[in-house]
Amino acid sequence: MFIIDLIALFAIYLILNLSLNLQLGYAGIPNFGLVLAVTGGAFTVGWLPIRLCTWIFNIDSQLGGNIVKNNAIIVSQINRHIQSQPLIGLGVFILTLIVAMGVGGFLGFISSYPAIRLRADYLAITLLALGEVLSIIGRNYEPLVGGVIGIAVPDVWGWLGRDRFTLITVVLLAAAIGTFLFLEVLARSPLCRTFRAMRDNEVAASSMGKDVARIRLEVLVLGSMISGLAGALYAFYTCYVGPAVYGRLEWTFLPWLMVIFGGVGNNFGVALGTLVFITLRKLIVYYKYSFAFLPFDVVWLEYLLLGSMILLILIFRPSGILKEKPSQTMPQARLEKIVGEASRKESERQMESV
Amino acid sequence: MLSVTNLNSGYGKFHVLFDINIECGKSEIVSVIGPNGSGKTTLLNTIFGLADIFSGSIIFEGKKLNNMPPHEISKIGIAYLPQANNVFADLSVRENLLMAGYPLNSQELKSAMDDVFSIFPTLKSFLHRKAGTLSGGERQMLAIAMTLMRKPRLIMLDEPLSGLAPVICQKIIEKIVELRDKLGVGIVLVEQNAKKALDISDKTYLIVSGKNIFSGKPDELLRYGELVELYLGLKAEGK
Amino acid sequence: MIDPTLMDSITYSSLLAVMTFGLSFVRRTTGVWNIAHASLVTIGAYVVFTCISFWGGSPYVCLPLAFILSAIIAVVEYISIIEPLRKRKASTTMMLVSTLAFDLMMLSVINIYADYLQDTFNFPSKNFLLRKLDFEFLGEPGIFWASVSLLIGFLMVLYAILNYTKIGVALKACVCNPMLASISGINVKYSNILSWLISGGLGGVAGGLLPLWVQGKPVLGDSLLAIMFCASIVGGVEEIYGTVLGGFLVGFTQILGTSALSLFLGPAVIPYKTIVPMIILILTLLFAPNGIAKVNWKKILTIAKFGGASKRKA
């Protein structure tokens, strides 16, 4: 059970970190407002499925007419329906994910539009400042996700029966691997080379006709869509959405630490970093009671450890555990063949001139 | 006074200067000339601790400068006039001079400022103006005045004539010669305008692509036709 | 006596201005946005809390201690993290991340300390408000007078330092042209340390005053970080006094603005006042990206007078 939960958490965070790697590692955009898109995705899951299912199953809205106030009762009714209707559960799941990605992308767009021409660190802190907006709205506008208390989420996997967590985790892992493959393919594409060119030297890239601001925006939107996906998956996994859960610490800062630790610009490094941090975290929480003698919550020791690890990495190995690989424009074998032919021709020519 | 021996230096992994040897004594104007990008500025930067030394040594009056930070080197009798951004634009002229004489106490400061005003009397009239609002020539005067505040025995000037009108250039050249003759200062002059530099130098070094390809008296150099034409764009004197 | 909303605005803006000044100042002098500044503020609050919890008395007495501790930690941060990274030519983003990591560590220490105080001594260290310990003067709470005098006092002292002391002029010189400063004999590293010391200390003092007005908790500084960034950018980092402008603009619109809005849209608007700084931030970025302090008002008035299309400066 411990392992299952670890893998699930790993999968979710991997998706989020890959999104950050895309924005930061490949396109050089320091998105310190990652939490915004994540919150957006999660809030979509808090808002849409319950209303969708209420409509589909014709659940009696006579229950006070207020979905949010009665969400516990309504959701338990929905869950009972879903247990016998797997297709609807799956359908709601997928539809909500798509909407969540859309919401994430939209949030990415509007939060970065004013800041897109700014220099890296100004962009970073602007995104940081704006990242909180949705959380604040969520906390105060009850109809959205139940205000401070939060709201329950229909269990779209209810039909899976007893082995549900294993199967859910498999799905999550599949989603993570899918994202990973998608981004790896993207990393080898000419589009990604444009990103990197822009990251390394904006002036040169724009003098080559690349509209830097627009590209940045596109990357941010794509990245935010993926972040939204991660947030939505987490919300579905925990069957609960509340503004308190989606804070800057857990959903912006920790991903940054994981990505930097693993290696910015290297998806494998990111996977490694995610694995290490998630495992560490699960271990500390699991053995929390062994630390019960300490007069404070042991989770702070974890953050202390994390913080110092990152500082050490930044000072002694800033490229992370696994460095960024240069982009491959063609397969290695073909490259070697071309170089081999060229040097052979050159030595032939030299021999002739002698 | 100043001996640079077998110097190899640059910035980080970037190797700019190769086995450079330079000597400058009292009451001497030594010019360092050469095409753009040869490393002339790097030489001055290295002497003042602003670049990385890979090998070789820099000795001033018996002291080894190799690992000294710039603010320490400024206290032992060398002054440096950088090519660009050589005044504090946001500060007033008075504050600029105050900064140039940072390690001095108030008495020494007063006497230094008096001395500087006697060489550059016009500075007195814009004591409270922001340095950024001065004209090119006035700014250069201020910059040179700043190098004099601590009564250096060696002054390094990086292209002091660049971007200035010929009349001002002439004035500055006169001041430089005055420094050598009246104050006995040793001067290392890096200059793009080779002709003017050679006119007033006692010794010259021609640096191309980081390597010293000539050292000796200016009139000797002018006799090497190809060098002079190729690298300095000057007409050779007889062949 | 004074309209309470106005008094609130002035108190808040003054505290915000002093708090944010440190953030802008180290940005200006060393080019780093110090996220850990948030924790320096919190540390100030906890110094005051510790003092009055163990020894009673007035919170104001412990303020110098708050200044000292926050200043020391700021300098430690600079020497152990920022300087080494600068030597290694780390990118601005990575420097930002390092301050983030340091902030996380400081937050952890604060939480551990607060937990310890709570468990061992039963102090309400996770959530405290010191208003009842405040004095009253001319009908207004002491915090009002304290925050305004802090702001005015620090501005005067800063002005004096920057214009009448050698060290202050050297600080300006280092900001203006660090290379020239070092070849003039100024130790730029010491100058930077001084700016971090001042910034951290001021943050600590402002943080020490905060619990007299709002709830003190471990995330006190971090909860205000976004607003501080807004105030800093809105005011403009280039001008040293821009932060005051930014602090007041953000502070006043947040409180007075929201209160005025609630007259039209009802009291439901009030909790959203935290979003107001962000709206101002967005507006500033769109129309005056270098901050309000840098806006060329003359030019705008001229253009407005003589009409014609004016292109937004990028």
Domains assigned to chain B: 2-232 (3.40.50.300)
The CA distances from residue C256 to C13, C88, C207, C228, in Å, are 11, 46, 22, 18
Summarised one tens digit per residue, pLDDT across range B178-197 is 888 888 889 999 988 788 88
Q: Taking residues C258-282, report their average pLDDT.
A: 79
Summarised one tens digit per residue, pLDDT across range A150-200 is 887 877 777 776 667 777 778 888 888 888 888 878 777 777 777 777 777
Q: Are B157 and B188 in contact (CB under 8 A)?
A: yes
Q: Which region among A325-339, B144-158, C218-232 has the lowest average model confidence (pLDDT)?
A: A325-339
Q: Is A301 on the interface with C (CB under 8 A)?
A: yes
Looking at the complex, report in whole angstroms how far the Cα of residue C247 sits from the nearest Cα belonging to chain A. Answer: 15
The total domain count for chain C is: 1
Is residue C263, in this structure, part of any structural domain at all? no
Is residue C55, in this structure, part of any structural domain at all? yes
* CATH class assigned to A2-353: mainly alpha
Q: Is B86 on the interface with C (CB under 8 A)?
A: yes
Summarised one tens digit per residue, pLDDT across range A120-142 is 778 888 888 888 888 888 888 87
Q: Are A221 and A129 in contact (CB under 8 A)?
A: no
Which pLDDT score is estimated for C150?
92
The DSSP secondary structure of A95-113, one letter per residue, reads: HHHHHHHHHHHHHHHHHHG
Q: Side-chain half-sphere of C132: how many Cα atoms within 13 Å?
A: 4
Is residue B84 classed as helix, strand or coil in its secondary structure? coil
Q: Band the pLDDT of A330: cuts 50, 70, 90.
A: low
Q: Band the pLDDT of A64: cuts 50, 70, 90.
A: very low
Residues 118-147 of A with CB under 8 A from C: 118-122, 124-126, 128-133, 136-137, 139-140
Q: Which region among A252-261, A295-304, C127-136 has the lowest average model confidence (pLDDT)?
A: A295-304
If you measure CA to CA, which chain B residue comes closest to C178?
B88
Compare A94 and A193 and report the one with higher pLDDT: A94
Beta bridge partners of residue B215, listed in sequence order: B205
Range(s) of the domain holding residue C82: 4-218
| Residue B35 reports pLDDT greater than 60 | yes
The DSSP secondary structure of A126-165, one letter per residue, reads: HHHHHHTHHHHHHHH-HHHH-TTT-EE---TTGGGGGGHH
Is residue C264, in this structure, part of any structural domain at all? no
Q: Which region among A201-210, B123-132, C204-213 has the lowest average model confidence (pLDDT)?
A: A201-210
Summarised one tens digit per residue, pLDDT across range A233-244 is 999 888 888 888
- Give me the residue from C91, C101, C285 closest to A126, CB to CB: C285
Which pLDDT score is estimated for A276?
87
Q: Band the pLDDT of B58: cuts 50, 70, 90.
A: very high
Contact residues on chain A for C112, CB-CB shorter than 8 A: 296-297, 300-301, 304
| Residues contacting C254, CB < 8 A, separation 6+ | C9, C12, C227, C273, C274, C276, C277
Give the amino acid at A216: R
* Spatial separation of the C-alpha atoms in residues B80 and B156, rounded to whole Å: 5
Parallel/antiparallel/unpaired status of strands C136-137 and B63-64: unpaired
- Give me the residue from C176, C179, C187 closest to B90, CB to CB: C176
CB C182 to CB B69 under 8 A? Answer: yes
CA angle A57, A60, A64 (to 5 degrees): 140
Encoded tokens for A313: 């990495």
Which pLDDT score is estimated for C180?
92
Which pLDDT score is estimated for A65?
57
- Give me the residue from C85, C90, C275 closest to A136, CB to CB: C275
CB C94 to CB A314 under 8 A? Answer: yes
A-C contacts (CB, under 8 Å): 131
Which pLDDT score is estimated for C228?
92
Q: Band the pLDDT of C310: cuts 50, 70, 90.
A: very low
Q: Taking residues A27-51, report their average pLDDT.
A: 87
The CA distances from residue A265 to A171, A260, A269, C202, C257, in Å, are 26, 9, 8, 38, 44
Q: Band the pLDDT of A22: cuts 50, 70, 90.
A: confident
Q: Band the pLDDT of C218: cuts 50, 70, 90.
A: very high
Encoded tokens for C138: 């001319």
Q: Band the pLDDT of C49: cuts 50, 70, 90.
A: very high
| Residue C308 reports pLDDT greater than 50 | no
Is residue C186, in this structure, part of any structural domain at all? yes
Q: Is B70 on the interface with C (CB under 8 A)?
A: yes
Q: Taking residues C221-241, report their average pLDDT.
A: 86
Q: Taking residues A292-316, report their average pLDDT.
A: 82
Q: Band the pLDDT of B212: cuts 50, 70, 90.
A: confident
Q: Which region among A150-159, C145-154, C157-166 has the lowest average model confidence (pLDDT)?
A: A150-159
CB B90 to CB C186 under 8 A? Answer: no
| Residue B156 reports pLDDT greater than 50 | yes
Q: Taking residues C165-171, report their average pLDDT.
A: 91
Is residue C38, in this structure, part of any structural domain at all? yes
Which pLDDT score is estimated for C282?
80
Which pLDDT score is estimated for C109?
94
Q: Which region among A171-185, C72-86, C113-127 has the lowest average model confidence (pLDDT)?
A: A171-185
Q: Taking residues B145-157, report their average pLDDT.
A: 90
| Residue C79 reports pLDDT greater than 90 | yes
Which pLDDT score is estimated for B93?
92
Q: What percent of chain A has pLDDT over 70?
A: 88
**ipTM of predicted assembly, 2 dp:** 0.86
Q: Is A253 on the interface with C (CB under 8 A)?
A: yes
Q: Band the pLDDT of C309: cuts 50, 70, 90.
A: very low
**What strands, in cross-sheet order, belong to the sheet with B154-158?**
B63-64, B52-60, B2-11, B14-24, B211-216, B203-208, B29-33, B186-190, B154-158, B78-81
Q: Is C277 on the interface with A (CB under 8 A)?
A: yes
* Domain definitions of chain A by residue range: 2-353
Q: Is C311 on the interface with A (CB under 8 A)?
A: no
Looking at the complex, report in whole angstroms how far the Cα of residue C189 sits from the nearest Cα belonging to chain B. Answer: 10
Contact residues on chain B for C180, CB-CB shorter than 8 A: 82, 85-88
Looking up tokens 């310990």 gives C133
Parallel/antiparallel/unpaired status of strands B211-216 and B203-208: antiparallel
Summarised one tens digit per residue, pLDDT across range B68-92 is 899 899 889 899 999 888 899 989 9
Encoded tokens for C149: 């005098």
Q: Is C3 on the interface with A (CB under 8 A)?
A: no
Encoded tokens for C42: 């919190």
Looking up tokens 């001079």 gives B97
State the DSSP H helix or E strand holding residue B207, giving kind and residue range, or none if neither: strand B203-208
Which pLDDT score is estimated for C314?
39
The DSSP secondary structure of A159-196, one letter per residue, reads: GGGGGHHHHHHHHHHHHHHHHHHHHHHHHTSHHHHHHH
Is residue C10 exposed (0-12), middle (13-18) or buried (19+ Cβ within 10 Å)? buried
B and A in touch (3+ CB pairs within 8 angstroms) = no
Contact residues on chain A for C102, CB-CB shorter than 8 A: 307, 311
Q: Are A175 and A232 in contact (CB under 8 A)?
A: no
| Residue B13 reports pLDDT greater than 90 | no
The CA distances from residue A249 to A257, B98, B193, in Å, are 10, 47, 59
CB A318 to CB C285 under 8 A? Answer: no
Residues 197-236 of C with CB under 8 A from A: 222, 225-227, 229-230, 233
Q: Which region among A188-197, B30-39, C77-86 has the lowest average model confidence (pLDDT)?
A: A188-197
Q: Taking residues A335-353, report their average pLDDT.
A: 76
If you measure CA to CA, which chain A residue comes closest to C279?
A130
- Give me the residue from B71, B88, B150 closest to C176, CB to CB: B88
